[in-house]
Structure 1
Amino acid sequence: MKVIETKRLILRWLSIDDADFILNLLNEPAWLRFIGDRGVRTLEDAKNYLLTGPMDMYSRFGFGLYLIALKDNRIPIGICGLIKRESLVDVDIGFALLSTFQSKGYGYEAASATMTYGIEQLGLKRIVAITSMDNHDSSKLLEKIGMKFEGNILLPNDSVKLKLYAYDY
């Protein structure tokens, strides 16, 4: 299901058919370094990730992570969306792109459209984001879409501090 359309991108719900793409994305060096190893090593692992992550979130909240595809040829290039984590009070935005599609403005285009969608369509008054301390590119992107650094946080059952950003509407 298409959720957001921008000048160059379509953001749509992920499905089981996206398992190959998810397997590749979750094993990208940047994903493993900045987001973390989710233990997705096989197509079956990727399908389980989709079912218990994004697809479960769609059914519970009506939103989640969306597949980012190029509008002209529908090639999947990443994910971006809104997440409701038990460990955070507010909904947060998340994004990741395949390395070959980074630094081309796609992350900004997808993230800014997702923020607009969250505010205008979902009625969110506050959206947050978390990123690892050394993920400077994500920090820059979060600031570019209007988020402000609020401080460092430690999520429950975690030992690594993260940077917390927020946008209040």
Structure 2
Amino acid sequence: METERLYLRLITIDDAEFLCKLMNTKKWHQMIGDRKVYTAEDAIAYMHERMDPDLSTKGFVNHVMVHKDTGDLIGTCSLHNREGVDGLDIGYALLSEHEGRGYATEGAKAMVELAFGKYQVEYVSAITNDDNIGSYKVLEKLGFQHAGYVRIQDSDDDIRLYVLKKN
């Protein structure tokens, strides 16, 4: 997939170093949690255990956001079908040096278009922590509406739920 400034491609084991770096940012640990991915080998194992099954059974998995001009890997965006959230939900994460430039909005918009287009869903969900103001600002910019709170697997906290209905 392609947006104005980004290429979005499926994540591969060649992205292990990048994924490890992203998953060990302060913001990832605060907002998503420590997934115990501390080396490239851990990242490869994580991909095989957590991402590959989604690709083979659901047809989708994390996408890497690649900056068109520089070729830099700047973040990930994805579709999920996670327990505790009805339907498909989107997720995104950026390396801190790329935050605040609209890349999360671009990536999330591409995931919404993928969900509505290829997967023909009637709505897309998204979840975020109450204190992740930047994340829910992205969702609101795309037209998502706050729809309450949910509790997902492996979490003790209620998480903000957002929903965007297909026009």
TM-score computed with the length of structure 2 as normaliser = 0.95
Equivalent position amino acid for 1:78 in 2: G
Question: For each residue in 1:8-35, what CA deviation from the matched residue of structure 2 results, as whole angstroms up to 9, or x when unmatched?
Answer: 1001010111000000000000000001
Report the equivalent of 2:71: 74
Looking at structure 2, the residues matched to 134 and 168 of structure 1 have their Cα atoms a distance apart, in angstroms, of 24
* Consecutive unaligned residues in structure 1, runs of 5 or more: none
Looking at structure 2, the residues matched to 8 and 80 of structure 1 have their Cα atoms a distance apart, in angstroms, of 14
SS in 1 for 2:7: strand
On the 8 A contact 1:15/1:55 being kept in 2, the answer is no
Give the number of aligned pairs.
Answer: 166
Q: What is the root-mean-square deviation of aligned Cα atoms in Å?
A: 1.2
TM-score computed with the length of structure 1 as normaliser = 0.93
Report the equivalent of 2:107: 110
On the 8 A contact 2:51/2:62 being kept in 1, the answer is yes
Deviation at 1:129, TM superposition (A): 0.6
Deviation at 1:72, TM superposition (A): 2.3
SS in 1 for 2:38: coil
Deviation at 1:117, TM superposition (A): 1.6
On the 8 A contact 1:19/1:47 being kept in 2, the answer is yes
* Consecutive unaligned residues in structure 2, runs of 5 or more: none
On the 8 A contact 1:153/1:163 being kept in 2, the answer is yes
Report the equivalent of 2:81: 84
Please show how residues 1-150 of structure 1 align to structure 2 within 5 Å: 4-150=1-147
On the 8 A contact 1:80/1:94 being kept in 2, the answer is yes
Question: For each residue in 1:83-119, what CA deviation from the matched residue of structure 2 results, as whole angstroms up to 9, or x when unmatched?
Answer: 1112322110000000000001111111112111210
Deviation at 1:73, TM superposition (A): 3.0
Please show how residues 149-164 of structure 1 align to structure 2 within 5 Å: 149-164=146-161
